[in-house]
Structure 1
Amino acid sequence: MIRFICILFISLQSLNAQIILTDSLTHYPVSYAAVSFGNGNGIFADDDGKFFFTKKLYPDIDSLFISALGYKSLNLSTKQLTDSILMVPQADELDEVVIGIKNNRKYKQEKIKPYLDDDYYKCWLPTIESEIAVYFPKNSNKDQKVTNVFFPIALESKDWNKRKKSNSDKKKFSTLFKVNFYSNNNGYPGKVLTYETIVFRATERNGDFFDLDVDDLNIYIPKNGFFVSLQVLGYTDKNGKLLPNKKYKEIKSKTGTVKIPTNFRPLLPFTDKVINKNTYVKRIFINGNSWVKFEKGNGFKSSLLDKGLFNYGIGITVNTYKDN
């Protein structure tokens, strides 16, 4: 009931503050663009390119930085906002795109299993300010295509005392995630490998991991390997539409108001079973911020690092073709 009232309150305040982002050439909506407030916080447009902004909701925000894959970024004063904003396409060159591949080639399928764990204390708490990327090397000189990605999910028991029982009732959630694939740029995520918008909705019914089928995207692994990333967009309704709820909490202190990013479910289990440190993080709402390896000494304060849990254990399935 409290959640419903909060959503209703925000929706009523936003009736005259709905903004839509559209492609300047096609006038199609620009889905899931990042709308940064320039202070480490922000929101996302939904699949229809819509987001909500009012001075009542965000009284201290004077400008917005809007970015989306394949488009020129915008920096706008909140005084200049209109109910429709055009975004100009930007044709950046994709790295090492393989085209003209025959579908009848023989291949061997290889699978790297995801690392699963439902231990609350071994999990990353997702916030929309952070994007997590995991590196995978190319282990063959033959063509390799990614067909599936397995994202581990930690399920929480409704009853804390029964959390170690596999048959316990799980807390419900409906959360939208966005996925990106990047080339390897000197050991860090580089250019995107596809401009396709890749999102999925996870619920407790998916079990311990979400199996994302990317076979039709024809993502071939570059010679230096690739990164696959995950970022949470927010909670959804039963139809998978993003809810217009605030993405951070405001806590008043003696020195002023402190903004703390909202944690979303499901939690993401980290592991110590991977030998190399292959996980990288960036804060997407800080302009110009770069990727940082998730390890001690890189500015992270995390109990995961204290426990030696350096990696988010994503799994993948790869087709290795027998002919080149």
Structure 2
Amino acid sequence: MKYFYTLFLIFISILSFSQVSKPIYIYDSISKAPIPFTNVIIYEKENIINGFYADENGFVKIVCNENSSLKFSCIGYENKTFEKLFGLSDTIFLRQNSIILKEVIITNSNKYKNLGFINSKKNSTINTFKGSEFAVFIENESNVKTKIKSVILNLTKKKDHTTILKIKFYKKGNNDTPTDILNNRDIIYYLKNKHNGELEIDIDDENIELPEEGVYLSVESLGFIDKKGSFISDQDMWHEFSFYLVDDINNATFTKNNLKANTWYNNLKLRFEEIGQKYKNHPNVSFGIKVYTE
């Protein structure tokens, strides 16, 4: 009897830790349109175990334990959580947030200025990976609210595969970390061709306001897609894509892995010193913004 009881416990243990694969489609609850590039985070006992992105068609294949919890999230939509993968439908509907639109500063000005870490000498680069997010704090030099016209990224991309980037803006929190997201929806950029140097992305239609203090501009790397909008295997491709860095007295860059943790890291200098690269001050990703001036 004891022998069979032991076998039963082993059997239950194997079941509880076995990985299963489940295809899921994610749609808008009202329009029934696919929601592209939704984040799907896998939890076990409140710890993040893994994460996935839906592709351009709202499709994601999840691989995890059947007893794992899941959270679906996308800017502009309410988060949706499930206690277990087991029994989950292959179709998920997300409901749009009830957003109170803020008044946006309207300007007739044709004058702009650049802010951020884009005019300094670029010393080196830092590779990205699926799920990585870099956020840099950009001060508002005039301390006057204004509208952001475009974002400026200094990067290098050595191949023509289409790279998907998610652009976000955060408020500065009490402990100087990125906090509340200012976007009302996802800002997705398709970087299709080879590129080396400055890339300007127009976001005028997004109506993003630069707060008096400043703003965190962040870029999250989602992966590479084919012509049908599906993610492709990318393990050997990330070394072909990286952001330029500048050496600055301000330690303004935060980074995190959205598919593995939800904690910001703020010491790139230490990370580079561990691999033998020295910085006089602090390495910061070379991001900037173009704003309207009076």
With structure 2 as the length reference, what TM-score do the two structures score?
0.76
Residue number in structure 2 paired with 1:80: 87
Q: Which runs of 5+ in 2 are unaligned?
A: 1-20
Q: In structure 1, what residue type is equivalent to 2:95?
A: V
Q: In structure 1, what residue type is equivalent to 2:87?
A: Q
Residue number in structure 1 paired with 2:126: 124
Shift of 1:150: 1.3
Distance 1:173 1:18 in 2: 25
Specify the SS of the correspondent of 2:111: strand
The residue correspondences of 1:1-324 to structure 2 (distance < 5 A) are: 17-38=22-43, 39-53=48-62, 58=63, 60=65, 62-63=67-68, 64-69=70-75, 70-91=77-98, 97-99=102-104, 101-104=105-108, 106=109, 108-112=111-115, 114=118, 122-156=124-158, 171-186=159-174, 187-238=176-227, 241-245=229-233, 263=238, 265-272=240-247, 274-286=248-260, 289-295=262-268, 300=271, 306-308=277-279, 310-321=283-294
Distance 1:232 1:76 in 2: 27
Distance 1:283 1:230 in 2: 12
Q: Which has the larger radius of gyration?
A: 2
Aligned pair in 2 of structure 1 residues 23, 172: CA closer, same or farther (>3 Å)? Answer: closer
Q: What does the per-residue CA deviation read over 1:164-204, in whole Å, with 9 as the maximum and x for residues that have no partner?
A: xxxxxxx4432111111111122111211122221112244
Identity of aligned residues (%): 24
Q: In structure 1, what residue type is equivalent to 2:33?
A: Y
Distance 1:29 1:236 in 2: 16
Greater Cα offset, 225-234 or 200-209: 200-209
Q: What does the per-residue CA deviation read over 1:211-244, in whole Å, with 9 as the maximum and x for residues that have no partner?
A: 11011112111122111111111112246x2425
Aligned pair in 2 of structure 1 residues 59, 49: CA closer, same or farther (>3 Å)? Answer: closer
Distance 2:151 2:164 in 1: 16
CA contact (8 A) 2:71 2:79 kept: no
CA contact (8 A) 1:44 1:51 kept: yes
Distance 2:287 2:78 in 1: 29
Distance 1:316 1:136 in 2: 8
Aligned pair in 2 of structure 1 residues 91, 191: CA closer, same or farther (>3 Å)? Answer: farther
Shift of 1:46: 1.9
Aligned pair in 2 of structure 1 residues 314, 40: CA closer, same or farther (>3 Å)? Answer: farther
Specify the SS of the correspondent of 2:241: coil
CA contact (8 A) 1:150 1:209 kept: yes
Q: What does the per-residue CA deviation read over 1:74-106, in whole Å, with 9 as the maximum and x for residues that have no partner?
A: 134221222201223344668xx433x4343x3
Specify the SS of the correspondent of 1:276: coil
Aligned pair in 2 of structure 1 residues 304, 40: CA closer, same or farther (>3 Å)? Answer: farther
Q: What does the per-residue CA deviation read over 1:2-47, in whole Å, with 9 as the maximum and x for residues that have no partner?
A: xxxxxxxxxxxxxx95311123344333221111233543220123
Aligned pair in 2 of structure 1 residues 173, 27: CA closer, same or farther (>3 Å)? Answer: closer
Distance 1:177 1:62 in 2: 31
Aligned pair in 2 of structure 1 residues 118, 293: CA closer, same or farther (>3 Å)? Answer: closer
CA contact (8 A) 2:66 2:84 kept: no
RMSD: 3.1
Q: Which runs of 5+ in 1 are unaligned?
A: 1-15, 157-170, 250-261
Specify the SS of the correspondent of 1:216: helix
CA contact (8 A) 2:99 2:184 kept: no
Shift of 1:135: 0.7
Aligned pair in 2 of structure 1 residues 60, 291: CA closer, same or farther (>3 Å)? Answer: same
Where is the strand percentage greater, Structure 1 or Structure 2? Answer: 2
Shift of 1:209: 3.0
CA contact (8 A) 1:174 1:203 kept: yes
